[in-house]
Amino acid sequence: MATMAPPRRNDERERYPNIPTADNRLPGVRDYEQVDRDVIATLSPTLGWFAALAVAIFCLLIGASAWTYQIHEGLGAAGYHPPVMWGVYIVTFVFWVGIGHAGTLISAILYLFRAGFRTTIYRAAEAMTVFAVMTAGLFPILHLGRPWKFFWLIPYPNWRLIWPNPKSPLVWDVFAILTYLTVSATFFYVGLIPDIAVLRDQERNPIRKRIFAVLALGWRNSDREWRHFTRAYLFLAAFATPLVLSVHSVVSFDFAMALTPGWHATIFPPYFVAGAIFSGIGMVFTIIIPLRKFFKLEHMVTINDLDAAAKLCLFTSMVVGLAYITEFQVAWLSGNAVEQEYFWNRVFGQWWWAAWIMLICNMVLPLSLFSQKLRRNTSWLFILSIFINIGMWFERFVIVIPSLSHEFEPWQWGSYAPTWVDYAILLGSFGWFFMWFLLFIRQLPVMAISEVKEIIAPKMRHAAVGHHHLTHGDVAEPRVTGTIRPAGGTH
C-alpha cells in the first residue's frame, strides 16, 4: 500500500535507495482517472486482434486434428521409438511448465521483495502463467496411450480399490502441477477482483456490465474489503513463493529420480527452477513488448521496467549457464565412464546441433544484456526473447532425448525422430496458449489498475509547499509524491 505526504526523511532515502518515487516511476501517468482510461482502452477489439485470434485458433485446430489422428492410430504415430519413449510431448510439457514460472515469480516473489518494476507487467505475466500451466497440463495426457484414463493418477476412492503409489514422481507431479494451477489461478482471480469492479463501474453496455458485476462479486472498494484483501494477497504471495520453487523441483524429480545418465543428479532441482524462471521471463518479453506497443502503453510499462526485467533475465541466464558448466564438470570429475560418454555425446554426438542451439541461445546471447543500451532496446529484447524461447525448448530436448537414446549398454542405444504429429501438436499448443491469452487481453485488464494507482501520487488539497486547493477535475500535479512504504500490509 502506498503512502502519501510525509516527505521522505534522509535516513529513509539512505535505507531504500532503489525504491523510486511515483513521479519518476510513471511520469506519463497523471492521475487515477487516466489509469482507468488507458487500461480500459485496451479492451476494444481491433482487426489485428481478430486476425491474431484466427491464426491461434487455426494452429489449435491443426494440433487437435493431429491428436485425433494419434488417438486413432496409437502412440506410434508420434515418433516414439525404443528406447526413446519420452519424446517431444515431455519436452514440451517441461517447456510450458517452465514458461508458467515467471508469472508467479513476478507477481508473488517480486511482490514480497518490493520490486517496483513488477507493478505494470505482473498481470499479463500472471495470465501467461495460468495459460501456460493449462497448456502444460495437456501434455502428460497427450503422452498417454489411453488419455481418457488420466484421472487414475489422482488418489480418490474408486471401485477398483487401486491407489497410486505416493513414492512415484509422477504422482508428485500431479499434486504439484494441480496445486500450482489452482493457486496461480486463484491468485490471478483475487488480484483481478478490484479491477473487474472498475470495469463494472465504467461499463455502459448492460450485458457486459452485468457479467462484470457477477465477476466482481459485489466488490465496493471499502476499507474493510481492502484490509482483508491486502492481507489475503500477502499470504497468497507467501504461499506462492515456495510453490514456484517446488513445482519445477518436482518436475525435475521426474528425471533426477531415474538412474539414466545425464539425469541422475542432485543439481537438477535448482537447475530446473533457474531455467524455468529464465524461460518464463523470455516469454514475458515476447508478450509484453508487442502488447505495450499495440496498446500504446509505453508510458505505463516504461523502459525502466523492461530494463529491470532484463537484468533479471541476465541473472537467471547466468545461473542457467553455471548449471550447464557444472553438469559437464561433475561428469568430468565423476570418473564415471558412462556419464562422461553421455556428456561428450551431448555436445558432439547425434544431437550436437540441439546442444549448441541451447548453449548459444541461453548462455551466450543473453550476455548482451550487460549492455544498458541493449537492455533498453525493445526490438533487441523481443528478438532475444524469441531466441530464449527456442533455446529453452532445446534445453529440454537435450535433456530428454540424448539421455534416453544413449543409456548404459550399447545394445540399448537408439535414435529418435519426431513425426509430423509431434510438430503439429507442438504448434497446436502455441495456438491453444495464444488463443487464451488473446481472449484475456480483450476481456480483462492487462494491467493491475488498482496497483498502478498505488504508485501514482494521490490528489492532495494541501501540498507540501504552500496550500493549493484542487477542485475535482483539475489535473493533479504530483507535487507531493507518494512513496512506496517498504514495510507493512502492502497490496
Restricted to residues 6-25, the positions that interact with other proteins (CB under 8 A) are none
Q: Which is nearer to other proteins, 149 or 231 (CB)?
A: 231
182 binds other proteins (CB under 8 A): yes
Report in angstroms the alpha-carbon separations of 204 from 39, 195, 199, 201, 211.
16, 16, 9, 8, 12
**3-state class (DSSP) for residue 159:** coil
Q: Which is nearer to other proteins, 171 or 267 (CB)?
A: 171
205 binds other proteins (CB under 8 A): no
Which positions from 144 to 163 touch other proteins by CB under 8 A, shown as an x/- string? -----------x------xx
Nearest to 107 by CA among 128, 85, 80, 135: 128
Q: Which of 2, 91, 274, 276 binds other proteins (CB under 8 A)?
A: 2
Minimal distance, residue 197 CB to other proteins, in Å: 5
Q: Give kind and range of the element (H or E) at residue 3.
A: strand 2-3
Residue reference for cell 488417438: 71
Cα 181 to chain centroid distance, Å, stands at 12
Beta-bridge mates of residue 484:
2
422 grid coordinates: 509431434
Q: Which of 62, 144, 152, 201 binds other proteins (CB under 8 A)?
A: 201
Minimal distance, residue 135 CB to other proteins, in Å: 20
Query: What is the total residue count of the chain?
Result: 491
305 binds other proteins (CB under 8 A): no
Minimal distance, residue 111 CB to other proteins, in Å: 14
Cβ-count burial of 69 within 10 angstroms (0-12 exposed, 13-18 middle, 19+ buried)? middle
Minimal distance, residue 458 CB to other proteins, in Å: 4
187 binds other proteins (CB under 8 A): yes
Q: Which is nearer to other proteins, 224 or 373 (CB)?
A: 224
**Planar angle of CA 75, 80, 86, nearest 5 degrees:** 100
The Cα–Cα gap between 77 and 70 comes to 6
- Enumerate residues 26-45 that contact other proteins by CB under 8 A: 31-33, 36
Cβ-count burial of 477 within 10 angstroms (0-12 exposed, 13-18 middle, 19+ buried)? middle
Q: Which is nearer to other proteins, 51 or 464 (CB)?
A: 464
Scanning 117-125, 218-226, 333-341, 408-416 for contacts with other proteins by CB under 8 A, the matching segment is 218-226
Asked if 21 contacts 3 with a C-beta cutoff of 8 angstroms, the reply is no
Minimal distance, residue 13 CB to other proteins, in Å: 19
Q: Which of 17, 48, 166, 466 binds other proteins (CB under 8 A)?
A: 166
DSSP state of 368: G
Q: Which of 16, 49, 69, 175 binds other proteins (CB under 8 A)?
A: 175
Q: Which of 183, 274, 381, 384 binds other proteins (CB under 8 A)?
A: 183
- Enumerate residues 233-262 that contact other proteins by CB under 8 A: 235-236, 239-240, 242-243, 246, 250, 253
Q: Which of 222, 373, 465, 466 binds other proteins (CB under 8 A)?
A: 222
Nearest to 48 by CA among 297, 294, 379: 294
The Cα–Cα gap between 246 and 176 comes to 8
Scanning 61-69, 228-236, 310-318, 400-408 for contacts with other proteins by CB under 8 A, the matching segment is 228-236
- Enumerate residues 328-387 that contact other proteins by CB under 8 A: none
Minimal distance, residue 37 CB to other proteins, in Å: 10
- Enumerate residues 449-488 that contact other proteins by CB under 8 A: 450-451, 453-454, 458-462, 469-472, 485, 488
228 binds other proteins (CB under 8 A): yes
192 binds other proteins (CB under 8 A): no
Cα within 13 Å of Cα(22), Cβ side: 29
Output phi, psi for 452, to 5 deg.
-65, -40
The stretches of 257-362 forming alpha helices (DSSP H) are: 268-294, 303-334, 337-348, 352-359
* Site size for other proteins (CB under 8 A): 75
Minimal distance, residue 154 CB to other proteins, in Å: 11
